[in-house]
Structure 1
Amino acid sequence: MEIMIKNKQALLRVLVVVLIFSVMNAFLFNVALPFIQKEFSLSSADISWVVSAYMMIYAVGTVIYGKLADIYSLNRLLQIGLIILALGSLIGLFAVNYQMVIVSRMLQAAGAAVIPTVAMIAPARFFPKEERGKAIGTLAIGMALGTALGPIISGVVAEVGNWRLLFALSFIPLLTLPFLTKYLPVKIDKNASKAIDYIGATLLTVTIAFLVLTITNFNITFAIIFLVLFVLFIIRINTYHTPFVLPSLFQNKSFSFTLVITFLTASLLFALTFVTPLLLDKMHHLSPVFIGIVLFPSAVIAALLGKKGGALADKYGNSFVFYLSIFFLGLCYFLLSLFVSTNPIWIAIILILGNIGATFIRVALTNTISLTLPKESVGVGMGFFTMFNFIAGAVATSLIGTLLEANFITSFKVYPFIQSIVELRFSHVFLILAIIACVITTVYIFVKKHYLVR
């Protein structure tokens, strides 16, 4: 049966708040890694697990919570997730050794993963199609603000305080629990199956974990294990009577090919948040605080325009918003490739195009994917959508990190006025990203024409 909400706009405002902290938490500790490494005398391999452990649990959690959302109420799932997030943060706040930091980050990820999953499911479940774009646009405000505030807060704490204080920020979402209880319905669909395929869920969990390990470590052993587990998972969902994921979900061509578009596009979005801070650090020698200041205006403007992106999707369609967004992203990368050495003020202005594009494109793809899903698979389908975004981020950061170190990237010149090696590296990476934006546009046109992506 259809679930009704007393106050949809109030629910969106609460979800925006928790999304801000979820997005911030994913990036906060990147700045703190050198401080943690120095305090506990860790190797580079050891410190990488502060990020890798979080990524694995978070990626797995989005799909697990998505599946549970098809069975249990979003209200209960969010409550449990926020409590787990707070518990992990408490351990991290008083961490006295490296092991406590890892356990803390894993628990944080296990709790935080519920937030984007529920935020993606809520518009698909509670809003009619003609209002869904605007609802998703409102939620995009939380993602944009989280992106804007994260670098500034982490930079300030890294420079003037103790890195453990970053954990304290994750207690704030607990304040939203009374409002979530008030605005999110507790009732669930009585016809929903309560059966859970625990073996299938376990296979999916370890498969995703080894996929993330393969991406972040470039390890052939992990890759082989991933492939074996993936085959076992496919066999399981095609032979078990009530599988964790219905095979028909991926037989839905609109859904599957939209996931492909999502993966490619998300790589572009994560690249923007990964490469730009490196540019401002390596070329312009800005401190973490000033890097955050450069990134802040564009993210805030994108947040303010989030609703506008949703309204455009409702009025003109998701494809219109997608084309507009990918144009902004491609133009942003092209301009950055030209002006890598320009004053950071101009970089901040160019980033407005990229961040608006990133915000709008999330609206278009979230709305598109929601329209491809049958009612009984909305939760797990949106969980996979969120997971693909996250894994795309891992792929993008790993590949770009490799590109920036590769010798071939400086073996040629596109712009004769760019001279230094550092300039060449960043300019060529930005130009490659602009070309990828064109390729994604071509793929989207093909998929839209042949597989009915709306």
Structure 2
Amino acid sequence: MKLNVFFLYSFILVLMLNVMQSTMVNVAIPFISIELSLSTEQSSLIISIYTLIFAVFVLFFGKLLDNISFRKLLVVSILIVFLGSLIATFSANYYWLLVGRVLQAIGGACIPALAMILPNYLQSDADKKNLLALMASTIALATGLGPVVGGIFTDFLHWRIIFALPAFLILLIPFFLIVQVDNEKKFNKKCFDLVGFMLISLAVTLLFIGINKIWLSLICISIVVILLSFFTMRRKENPYISIHVMSKRYVVLLFFFALSNAVYYGTLFIIPIGLVDIHNISSFSTALILLPGALLSSLFGIIRNTYFQKVNTKVLIYLGYITYLFGATLLYFNLEADFIVLLIPIIFIYLFSPIFQTGITSNIYEVLDPKKIGEGMGIFNLFNFLSISIGVSLAGNFISYYQDFPTFFVFVFFIQTIALIGFYVCDIMSRK
């Protein structure tokens, strides 16, 4: 089957703005906080609530694709994003801004699921690989451009424009409505594990709040809900999450990935706030400092499948840890240094994610049953976005409480070192 060229590039535009939406906000956070009189803890929620909702719904939409057509889900997701963008743009206060972010996250969570299924509509392997490469390049480019575009809008227009930008995707809906991508499918309620979705969503939300507020009672309740959901899903013919995917090695990889990912994104959240607080610079200047790291990280994301296929995947994991620890150490000793000096540690910190994720995801592919890769990667995405939301939220709480940026970098260095040692020990034990 051949995809309409205009449809394909329109979807690429949707994907690009969806990725940028999650990266543009970071540089604007210090100025949103000032205008709305927010604490660091409150401002972190603008990002963490987005990724939390994203985590809950990204697997949900992946399951819905078995029952609802690609075209319908795409149109519905754009409409939800449009509504969220309007509410966030014209929000009268902090709470309406959060409502808008929640809706943007619900609609945006559908796009990765659609991107994963789109290559299946192409017949030749060459076309599928070209499309995957195009989407990978788009994601990498959007990740690099996001902070710069966000800085430009914040400095020269207003931070609200950042939330308004995705609303323009509604102009593509008339075209998406008239283009047939696949055969329409009727939704069969028996095929979708609604109870499993509700229990997992409840567990994820309770876990986020419990860790964020350090409420052990909520964390314990979330664990009970997770166990209950696994018990109910074991009896389902088509469970929301298949527990048979979760081998011991897979769970270990997920744990270390989530821990290290939370530390990484917590650091990315704090860096712009620290730069503005210490150097008193504009959001555009902040974006320019972050740009080299973001672009090099994006470049690695583009070339990794070409140049790093033969590299041992565990070597990449260790290399990722080393780049982060080196960058965090340099940044700790140079927080008040000139901007040129700051570029170096920030570049090393940014490089952690593409190197580490390449190693982790490759390891996950190795331990998963080939027939269960789709389910396994769906759970991986859930942990990915959940760890981002928890990391950003905890980083915001840390700075709100201690008001000390150097101490933060000592703390994350300590946590990431423990993660590295823990992964090494598990790696050695798995070889015996």
Instruction: Return the TM-score normalized by structure 2.
Output: 0.79
Query: Aligned match of 1:82 in 59, 66, 78?
Result: 78
Which residue pairs with 1:305 in the alignment? 300
Mapping 1:369-380, distance limit 5 Å: 369-370=364-365, 372-374=367-369, 377-380=372-375
Give, in whole Å, the separation in 1 of the partners of 2:429 and 2:124. 25
Give, in whole Å, the separation in 1 of the partners of 2:334 and 2:37. 39
Give, in whole Å, the separation in 2 of the partners of 1:172 and 1:100. 20
Q: After TM superposition, give the deviation of residue 360 of structure 1 in Å.
A: 3.0
Which residue pairs with 1:382 in the alignment? 377
Give, in whole Å, the separation in 1 of the partners of 2:292 and 2:164. 25
Is 1:341 aligned to residue 336 of structure 2?
yes
Query: Aligned match of 2:261 in 263, 266, 271?
Result: 266
Which residue pairs with 2:272 in the alignment? 277
Work out whether residues 36 and 94 of structure 2, in 8 Å CA contact, stay in contact via their aligned partners in 1. Answer: yes
Which residue pairs with 1:411 in the alignment? none
Work out whether residues 28 and 150 of structure 1, in 8 Å CA contact, stay in contact via their aligned partners in 2. Answer: yes
Give, in whole Å, the separation in 1 of the partners of 2:294 and 2:11. 18
Q: After TM superposition, give the deviation of residue 392 of structure 1 in Å.
A: 1.4
Q: Structure 1 residues 249 and 121, CA, compared in 2 at 3 Å: closer, same or farther? A: farther
Long gaps (5+) in structure 2: none
Query: Aligned match of 1:425 in 399, 407, 413?
Result: 407
Give, in whole Å, the separation in 1 of the partners of 2:325 and 2:11. 30
Is 1:442 aligned to residue 424 of structure 2?
yes
Q: Which amino acid in 1 is paired with 2:286? A: I
Give, in whole Å, the separation in 1 of the partners of 2:361 and 2:178. 25
Give, in whole Å, the separation in 1 of the partners of 2:418 and 2:135. 27
Query: Aligned match of 1:169 in 165, 171, 174?
Result: 165
Work out whether residues 242 and 375 of structure 2, in 8 Å CA contact, stay in contact via their aligned partners in 1. Answer: no
Q: After TM superposition, give the deviation of residue 398 of structure 1 in Å.
A: 3.8
Q: Which moved more, 1:67-76 or 1:120-129?
A: 120-129
What SS class does the counterpart of residue 191 from structure 2 fall into? coil
For residues 264-314 of structure 1, the C-alpha deviation after alignment (integer angstroms, 9 at most, x for no partner) is 331243134123223322333322221111001221122233222122343
Which residue pairs with 1:239 in the alignment? 235
What SS class does the counterpart of residue 315 from structure 1 fall into? coil
Long gaps (5+) in structure 1: 408-420
Which residue pairs with 2:50 in the alignment? 54
Work out whether residues 19 and 115 of structure 1, in 8 Å CA contact, stay in contact via their aligned partners in 2. Answer: yes
Q: Which amino acid in 2 is paired with 1:432? A: F
Which residue pairs with 2:282 in the alignment? 287
Q: Structure 1 residues 321 and 368, CA, compared in 2 at 3 Å: closer, same or farther? A: same
Q: Which amino acid in 2 is paired with 1:246? A: S
Query: Aligned match of 1:366 in 354, 361, 366?
Result: 361
Mapping 1:116-265, distance limit 5 Å: 116-119=112-115, 139-173=135-169, 186=182, 195-220=191-216, 222-250=218-246, 252-265=247-260
- Identity of counterpart residues, as a percentage? 27
Q: Which amino acid in 2 is paired with 1:438? A: L
Work out whether residues 3 and 181 of structure 2, in 8 Å CA contact, stay in contact via their aligned partners in 1. Answer: no
Give, in whole Å, the separation in 1 of the partners of 2:283 and 2:172. 30
Give, in whole Å, the separation in 2 of the partners of 1:365 and 1:135. 23
For residues 149-178 of structure 1, the C-alpha deviation after alignment (integer angstroms, 9 at most, x for no partner) is 333333443344344322221135557779
What SS class does the counterpart of residue 232 from structure 1 fall into? helix
What SS class does the counterpart of residue 316 from structure 1 fall into? coil
For residues 362-394 of structure 1, the C-alpha deviation after alignment (integer angstroms, 9 at most, x for no partner) is 333334434555566444432321121122123
Q: Which moved more, 1:333-342 or 1:71-80?
A: 71-80
Work out whether residues 89 and 170 of structure 1, in 8 Å CA contact, stay in contact via their aligned partners in 2. Answer: yes
Is 1:391 aligned to residue 386 of structure 2?
yes
Give, in whole Å, the separation in 2 of the partners of 1:15 and 1:371. 31
Work out whether residues 63 and 383 of structure 1, in 8 Å CA contact, stay in contact via their aligned partners in 2. Answer: yes
Give, in whole Å, the separation in 2 of the partners of 1:128 and 1:269. 38
Q: Structure 1 residues 344 and 37, CA, compared in 2 at 3 Å: closer, same or farther? A: closer
Q: Structure 1 residues 372 and 134, CA, compared in 2 at 3 Å: closer, same or farther? A: farther
Instruction: Return the TM-score normalized by structure 1.
Output: 0.76
